[in-house]
Structure 1
Amino acid sequence: MVWLGVCAEGLTVPVIFEDATMDAQKYIKEVLPIALKSGKKMLGKNWTYQQDGATPHTHHLSQKWCADHFPAFIPKIRWPSNSPDLCPFDYSLWNELGQVMDWNYVTAESTLIE
């Protein structure tokens, strides 16, 4: 499992999980701090964090962490309906990323991150 953030300024560092299970506690501990640090580095102080409807994202503890830490955050009760324009990862970016990878070179986690 991989978490990756994207914005107009580029991509975040990927977070790769050997164990493909994810819960709210793992998301809060291992993903959200990287999202916050990357957002600040790429965008400064004025930006909004948007996530999808995955169960770890909608958990009340994840929602609270986001509200408490991000400069702005779209809570689950305010998410717009699914749209290719608003959810590009879900509709095309993961596919595009997979197609441009040199899978002969990517043979381990370290080369995938590189």
Structure 2
Amino acid sequence: MVWAGVTSTGKTPLVFIDRNVKINAEVHQKTVLMENLLPWASQHFVGRLFILQQDWAPSHGAKSTKVVLDTHFPGYLGKDLWPARSPDLNPMDFSKWGLLKRRARSQAAPTTFWMLSRPHFRRREAKSTTTTSAAPAIP
């Protein structure tokens, strides 16, 4: 699995989780929220408001995840405030993932998860994937 986030001013590092790992609440909290998003947001949003929006997959909405969100991401908005499958409120699903898929199909793309997670591919995508293409979709 690949996790990423985008804001109107930047993007998170890509987070790669082995495909044999079940993405449950514990994995989401530890690997995505605490080890990656929290340190990135703490540096990127010093003294500024940060509101977390997520798609509310089961691991995102678990009671234990809500405790982590309440503690470390108090500006998150609950799932009742974000319409499902809304192109204007979900730039990752309706802009960035499609762009990455098109780019991967148009060039010699990695053929395995291991190749995709290699540092040189991650650096290439980090440099070539800008927030500019998603900026119109970010409120």
Specify the TM-score bucket, using the shorter chain as the normaliser: 0.7 to 0.9
- The residue that corresponds to 2:23 in the other structure is 22
Q: Unaligned 5+ residue runs, structure 1?
A: none
CA distance in 1, matches of 2:9, 2:110: 24
Q: Distance in 1 between matches of 2:2 and 2:73?
A: 21
- In structure 2, the CA distance between the partners of 1:104 and 1:71, relative to structure 1 (3 Å rule), is same
Alignment of 1:1-114 (within 5 A): 1-19=1-19, 21-33=22-34, 34-45=36-47, 46-101=49-104, 103-104=107-108, 106=110, 108=115, 109-110=117-118, 111-114=120-123
Distance 2:98 2:84 in 1: 21
- Aligned-pair identity in percent equals 30
Deviation at 1:79, TM superposition (A): 2.8
Q: Answer 1 or 2: which has greater strand percent.
A: 1
Residues in 1 aligned to 2:25 and 2:80: alpha-carbon distance in whole angstroms: 17
Kindly indicate whether the alpha-carbon contact (under 8 Å) linking 2:55 and 2:84 is maintained by their aligned counterparts in 1.
no
Instruction: Specify the code of the residue in structure 1 equivalent to 2:122.
Output: I
TM-score normalised by L of structure 2: 0.71
Q: Give the drift of 1:26.
A: 0.3
Tell me how far 1:92 sits from its aligned partner: 2.4
